[in-house]
């Protein structure tokens, strides 16, 4: 009996260690995403629209995580996200269609390009900040959008660029949405882990110090030049990687997709969920993108009047900023704390009723 109790206690301790591991929640989120795909592969009638909604949402989570580093930790406003994501889609489309380049090499080229773009924008941010920085990045995004429209030899202009195959080790392979969905889920898991380590590292603390007060951060030895560049480079790498995954998954890119509206939706996802929490980013992205793609677009009222979705997002942002400035994740954490507190109080009262213990 004693041995059984000891084994049970050890098993419970191991389960608690797994549950309390910082990556456990990320694995659960990824598993929930993959369940939809696995159920469809197993023969269950899962609508393609729902599957696509989950696929897009995972890509947008990756992009939003990069933006959270920039805004939530660096305190730097940017409205250039759409343009950077668009660059990623056209890079993979052009290099694959014209040169049959391996997707792995394309990802490497994209990361190098993202570092260059992020460095340039980071240097610009050293001279300006606040809403002026947002305006500059918006202007850059609009310039990129016009390039997408007019560089027809590369982007095919307003007709959009299609990607029929991807190349893996010199072997052209037709787009397989099921396989790509799984790859996106695994990449999302990897990105969440990297982002958490970055947030909890000295780099994350330096970015927070810079966000709270640049003067105080400099007095403590934090290099504003270094960490501004790092924030923009990280955000741009995430955005271009998201663009590569988008093009690989959907196989089509059109300039009108990469407009100011997309940048504002990414901003809204970060603000609504919570700009300093990975779980908040996931929640906010589902509220802004996933809910619209999986639910609202299946309702005739929202299909016939797409502006209602925009109005809904607008009211959601206003409500969150007014009542929960830290995002919906703060509301959930507060509710979770109250539930735990009330449960512990109930246990004490129950023990007092049964055994006569003092509930205090």
Q: What is the DSSP string of 271-285?
A: HHH-TT-HHHHHHHH
Domain ranges of the chain: 2-326
> Do the Cβ atoms of 198 and 69 come closer than 8 Å?
yes
Q: How confident is the model at residue 268 (pLDDT cuts 50, 70, 90)?
A: very high
Min mean pLDDT across 191-195, 319-323, 355-359 is at 355-359
Q: What is the pLDDT of residues 337-346, one digit of tens each?
A: 888 888 888 8
Alpha carbon distance 25, 36 (integer Å): 18
The C-alpha atoms of residue 352 and residue 356 are separated, in whole angstroms, by 4
Query: 278-285 and 177-200 are packed helices; what angle lies between their axes, rounded to 10 degrees?
Result: 140
- How many CB atoms sit inside 10 A of residue 255's CB? 23
Strand partners, 252: 162
The structure tokens 């980013």 sit at 281
116-125, 143-152, 190-199: segment of lowest average pLDDT = 116-125
| Single pTM value for the model | 0.92
Helix or strand or coil: residue 189? helix
Is the pLDDT at 274 greater than 70? The verdict is yes
User: What tens digit of pLDDT does each residue of 2-23 get?
Assistant: 666 667 777 777 777 788 888 9
- DSSP characters over 222-285: --HHHHHHHHHHHHHHHHHHHHHHHHHHH-EE-GGGSSHHHHHHHHHHHHHH-TT-HHHHHHHH
- Is the domain spanning 2-326 CATH 1.20.1530? The answer is no
Mean pLDDT of 185-208: 95
Helix (H, G, I), strand (E, B) or coil at 167: strand
pLDDT at 61 over 80: yes
- CA distance linking residue 26 with residue 279, whole number of Å: 8
pLDDT of residue 6: 67
pLDDT score at 105: 95
Q: Which two tokens stand for residue 346?
A: 């109930």
pLDDT digits (tens, 9 = 90+) for 23-51: 999 999 999 999 988 888 777 778 888 89
Q: Which two tokens stand for residue 261?
A: 């509206």
Q: What pLDDT sits at residue 356?
A: 64
Q: How many beta carbons lie within 10 A of that of residue 174, not counting itself?
A: 8
**What is the structure's pLDDT at 44?**
79
- Give the pLDDT band (50/70/90) at residue 1: low
Whether 292 shows a pLDDT value over 90: the answer reads no
- CA-closest candidate to residue 271, choices 232, 321, 309: 321
Contacts 24+ apart (CB under 8 A), 175-180: 175/248, 175/251, 177/51, 177/55, 177/249, 178/37, 178/40, 178/41, 180/55, 180/248, 180/249
End-to-end CA distance of the chain: 32
Residues 6+ apart with CB under 8 A from 22: 196
Centroid of chain to Cα 79: 16
Which residues, in sequence order, are CB contacts of 232 under 8 Å at separation 6+?
Answer: 70, 76, 78, 118, 119, 121, 122, 125
Band (357; pLDDT cuts 50, 70, 90): low
Q: Pick from 77, 313, 307, 98: which is nearest to 211 by CA?
A: 77
């Amino acid at each position: 009996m004693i041995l059984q109790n000891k084994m049970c206690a050890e098993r419970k301790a191991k389960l608690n260690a797994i549950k309390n591991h910082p990556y456990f929640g990320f694995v659960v989120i990824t598993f929930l995403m993959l369940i939809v795909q696995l159920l469809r592969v197993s023969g269950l009638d899962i609508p393609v629209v729902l599957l696509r909604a989950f696929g897009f949402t995972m890509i947008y989570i990756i992009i939003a995580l990069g933006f959270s580093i920039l805004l939530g930790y660096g305190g730097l406003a940017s409205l250039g996200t759409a343009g950077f994501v668009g660059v990623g889609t056209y890079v993979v489309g052009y290099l694959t269609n014209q040169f049959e380049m391996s997707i792995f090499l394309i990802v490497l080229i994209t990361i190098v390009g993202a570092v260059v773009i992020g460095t340039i924008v980071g240097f610009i941010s050293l001279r300006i900040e606040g809403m002026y920085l947002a305006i500059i990045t918006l202007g850059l995004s609009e310039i990129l959008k016009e390039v997408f429209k007019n560089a027809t030899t590369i982007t095919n202009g307003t007709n959009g660029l299609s990607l029929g195959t991807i190349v893996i080790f010199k072997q052209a392979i037709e787009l397989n949405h099921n396989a790509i969905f799984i790859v996106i889920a695994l990449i999302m898991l990897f990105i969440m882990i990297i982002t958490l380590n970055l947030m909890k590292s000295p780099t994350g603390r330096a970015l927070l110090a810079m966000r709270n007060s640049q003067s105080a951060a400099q007095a403590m030895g934090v290099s504003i030049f270094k960490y501004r560049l790092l924030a923009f480079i990280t955000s741009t790498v995430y955005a271009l990687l998201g663009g590569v995954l988008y093009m690989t998954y959907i196989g089509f890119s059109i300039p009108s997709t990469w407009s100011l509206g997309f940048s504002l939706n990414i901003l809204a996802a970060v603000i609504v969920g919570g700009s300093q929490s990975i779980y908040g980013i996931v929640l906010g992205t589902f509220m802004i993108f996933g809910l619209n793609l999986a639910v609202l677009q299946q309702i005739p009222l929202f299909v016939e009047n797409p502006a209602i979705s925009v109005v809904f997002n607008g009211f959601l942002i206003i409500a969150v900023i007014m009542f929960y400035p830290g995002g919906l994740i703060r509301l959930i954490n507060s509710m979770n704390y109250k539930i735990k507190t009330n449960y512990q109080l109930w246990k004490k009262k129950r023990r007092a009723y049964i055994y006569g213990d003092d509930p205090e």
